[in-house]
Chains A and B, each alone.
Chain A
Amino acid sequence: MTRRDWRRHTLAALIAVGGPGLITLLAREKRARDAAARDRRRAEASARAAERLQRAAEALSRAVSPADVLDAVLTSGVAAAEARAGMIAELSEDGTELIPIAWRGFPPELSERWGRFPVAAAYPMSEAVRTGEPVFIRSREELDARYPTLAMGPDTTYANVCLPLIVDDVTIGGLVFSFDSDQEFDERRRALKIALARQAAQALQRARMFEAVREAEGRVSFLAEASELLSRSLEYEVQMQRLADLAVPHLADWCTVDVLNESGEIERVAVAHEDPEEVAWGWEVHRRVPPRPDSLLGVPYVLRTGEAEFLPEVPRKLLATALESEPELAEILERVGVRSWICVPLKGHGRVLGALTLVGAESGRIFTNADLELAKALASRASLAIENALLYREAERRADAARALTYVGDAVVLVDSDEVVRYWNRAAELLLQVGRDDALGARAADAVPGWDALTAHAVPADASTGKRARAVTVPVVVAGVELWLSVAAVDFGDGSVYALRDRTEERVLEQARTDFVATASHELRTPLAAVYGSVRTLQRDDAELGDENRELLLSIIERETERLTEIVSQILLADQLGSDSFRVDAEACDLKLLTEEVVRAARVRAPKGIEVEVEAPPALPLVRGDEDKLRQVLVNLVENAIKYSPEGGNVVIRLEVSNGNGRIVVRDRGIGIAPADQQRIFEKFTRLDPGLSRGVGGTGLGLYITRELIARMGGTISVDSVPGSGSTFIVELPVQA
């Protein structure tokens, strides 16, 4: 039995049962049938709507990027809403405007006419966003009546639904569905559209967050890469070029880095572009048209003010106005095709070091705030790198200079304009006998012995004139010893550098030479005066001399001439001893015999009051040496002993054997030699009495010659003396094997 049969059968049964209730029953049955049909239709529509909503939800969930979401909303969403067209607008950052970001199904002229519009406007979308409640408009009549200022124009739009896009109670924009016929929005349809909007909002937010995360990750890895490459070099020119290369084309079409060099000029250190030819052009154009420091925008402006310059969309008008004064630059910007511009300062310790520039050009990219932030982050890393590089460079330079100054033989002292010591090298420590720690920070007058004398003589040369500092030699007492210091000083504005060199030895030698000339001339003059005087006297014809006097004068001439010869040969000998070609023989010499011979001659010439004695053991081995030279040694020592005993006293020459050497000890009771001078006396030209006031004759060569001769015979000489009590010279010579 079919259902119809069952119904008919039931009906027949009812009629058969009869009665007046039958008609009523039939009418009721019809109503029930109609309701069921309506329910069925409604259920079917619901099922279709649910299915469309499901499809839209699926499409939205598949959408990853904001663009995908917008696309899903405007295709699946519009279909689900049974609408003809749709539009999505986002709320501007400040929340005052709505910016349409995607259209679908509207005639093109409409989407062109609608730019951004205020949230405060009397428009349905504005109202929906403002109130957070959907706005349903059933017909064109209703639209025109409720929103007279909307002025939709003669298009086919009839009904509209404007829905706020809200996520977590925050409105992010609005969604509009447009229908091409008047609509009735029952509860069910309203609920569906609200659900659609909620899903769209969530999907859009999710996509934006996803994109933000991805971008952030990109930025983080970009910055990490930038940091890494910056740490790889200490040459900031290299670093900056690598950094710029990293920035293109990922971040910008062009990237340049400029730094302020030491003289405050703008120096370009990096140019990057994907195309190497463009890079070459970039360098060339920078050389050809160097940036003008007073320029009103761009790198010079940023370097001057230390402020970032951000022009997301470079206004052509501004460019034209600002560049009127710089037509060449305008040309360059035109050639580059600048669309978007970021220029951020590179700062270190409050100082502007340079500028990093990003240019959006042929790619049509428009920089965002996020790009500006990225550029700033990049700039802070670049600044750090440049500063490190500069510090390193400075440290290297100082280290080089300091190293050089440490090892330089001259004492180098730097004082600032307050005459406080700021540098003190090792040689200064040694020369001036003041440690670095004590000198640094001290007043120069306290740290440098004889500072006043030094500065009185050494006038610092002005460094800016490039004139060489003239060194002067000044006597200074350091730790109780007089030193002759040559001083040269240079004034460099913030202070002065003093270079001090110990010239004491040179000074002593120079003085000794001067003294030698004086001494030698006196030594030559004395016998000469006697010879000349004798000759002139012999030539007298105004008086009778007598044979005895004539004989006396002739013997004076003879003796004094010999003396002259001896002095001259001593000078020549001293000169020869300086050269390697001087030779001595090594033969067996009888020391005793030689000594007695020398002493015999000395006794004849010794002044009264001086006895010359010899003490020797009966047997003495022969020594090895050169007889003539050994005789000269003995003559020198004995004559010295006599010469420096002006008050008289005996001179004793003792011969002995000691440690297998033949030893000669010559002792006098004369004036003696101060301990400080006991080594000096064996040096060339040294006389302990340069003023000659004592009148003790001598060329100052005697002991030098003596020491040299003994040394060449393989022996040694030393002295032991107490001033005022006499001197003892000890000569040791090897015994003849």
Chain B
Amino acid sequence: MLLVDDEAPMRAVCRLNLELEGFDVLEAEEGREALALASRERPDLVLLDVMMPSMDGFDVARRLQSDPATRAIPVVFMTALAASDDRRRGFDAGGVGYVVKPFDPVYLGATVRHTLDRLAAGDRDGLRREVLDAP
């Protein structure tokens, strides 16, 4: 699991909860670092903040998509950008999940697991509907 967020407190909280759920967590505080880690470590999933200095999350996602080595890694966005347009942008950038801040980190592990299950079942569209149809 790769966790990307420029906010250290946020990373700490997410990491703690994910580890309690039994995930191994890698951390990156900005885009370039995230791309390097993803390419090297091939995580099962990337939790990606959108608003970061230098390179935003959508950009990072697109780069992951364009690299054959990382294309298969699913991306779940974590962001305060809650508008439906932003969610669509997230999916257009190659995301399969979208978590709106502030979220309850207690359920972050469940969300990740749900996403992986759905993808394993080949139900990418279902994930998309879940996010886009959310109020």
Contact = CB atoms under 8 A, between A and B. Distances in A.
Given A540-B20, A556-B13, A526 B7 contact: yes
Contact of B10 (A521, A529, A536, A543): A529
B45 to A, nearest CB: 19
A74 interface: no
Contacts of A526: 7, 10, 80, 101
A622 B53 CA distance: 38
Nearest to A563: B9
Interface stretch (B66-74, B103-111, B127-135): B103-111
A537 B9 contact: no
Summarize A's interface: helix, strand, loop or mixed: helix
A204 B82 CA distance: 116
Interface in B35-83: 49-54, 56, 80
B67 to A, nearest CB: 21
B83 to A, nearest CB: 10
Interface in B77-118: 80, 101-106
Interface residues of A, number: 32
A559 B9 CA distance: 9
B101 A525 contact: yes
A693 B51 CA distance: 6
Nearest to A522: B80
A521 B100 CA distance: 13
Nearest to B6: A695
A536 B105 contact: yes
A529 B101 contact: yes
Contacts of A536: 104-106
A180 interface: no
B51 A533 contact: no
Contacts of A49: none
A646 B53 contact: yes
A508 interface: no
Contacts of B14: 533
A552 B16 contact: yes
Given A537-B16, A693-B56, A530 B51 contact: no
Interface in B1-21: 6-7, 9-10, 12-14, 16-17, 20
Nearest to B11: A530
Nearest to B107: A536
Nearest to A533: B13
A731 B86 CA distance: 40
Interface in A531-549: 532-534, 536-537, 539-540, 542-543, 545, 549
B53 A530 contact: no
A598 interface: no
A533 B102 contact: yes
A521 B9 CA distance: 18
A694 interface: yes
Contacts of A730: none
Contacts of B56: 693-695
A525 B80 contact: yes
B53 A560 contact: no
A45 interface: no
Contacts of A560: 9
Contact of B17 (A521, A537, A559, A607): A537
Nearest to B101: A529
Interface string B21-41: 000000001100000000000
A553 interface: yes
Contacts, number: 80
Interface string A265-305: 00000000000000000000000000000000000000000
A530 B104 CA distance: 10
A528 B9 CA distance: 11
A540 B50 CA distance: 27
B51 A647 contact: no
A692 interface: yes
B9 A556 contact: yes
B51 A522 contact: yes
Contacts of A695: 6, 49-53, 56
B103 A529 contact: yes
B12 A552 contact: yes
B80 A549 contact: no
A386 B80 CA distance: 76
Nearest to A526: B7
A696 interface: yes
Nearest to B56: A693
Nearest to A691: B56
Contacts of A529: 10, 80, 101-103
A147 B20 CA distance: 156
A118 B14 CA distance: 133
Interface in A138-160: none
Nearest to A525: B80
A541 to B, nearest CB: 10
Interface centre among B16, B17, B105 (most CB of A within 10 A): B16
A698 B10 CA distance: 17
Contacts of B103: 529, 533
A533 B10 contact: yes
B86 to A, nearest CB: 11
Given A559-B9, A694-B56, A528 B51 contact: no
Given A526-B80, A528-B102, A537-B105, A694 B13 contact: no
Nearest to A644: B53
Contacts of B105: 533, 536-537
A560 B54 CA distance: 23
Contacts of B49: 695
Nearest to B13: A533
B42 to A, nearest CB: 26
A521 B7 CA distance: 16
Contacts of A534: 9, 13
A92 to B, nearest CB: 102
Contacts of A530: 7, 9-10, 13
Interface in A15-61: none
Contact of B13 (A522, A528, A537, A542): A537
B54 A646 contact: yes
A286 B103 CA distance: 89
Interface string A603-629: 000010000000000000000000000
B5 to A, nearest CB: 10
Contacts of A647: 54
21 contacts: A525-B80, A526-B7, A527-B9, A529-B103, A530-B9, A533-B14, A533-B102, A534-B9, A537-B16, A537-B17, A537-B106, A539-B106, A540-B20, A540-B106, A553-B13, A692-B51, A693-B56, A694-B53, A694-B54, A695-B49, A695-B52
List of 7 A-B pairs having minimum Cβ-Cβ separation, nearest first: A529-B102, A695-B51, A646-B53, A533-B13, A530-B9, A543-B20, A529-B101
Given A533-B103, A553-B13, 10 more contacts: A522-B51, A530-B9, A533-B10, A533-B104, A553-B16, A646-B30, A646-B54, A647-B54, A693-B56, A695-B6
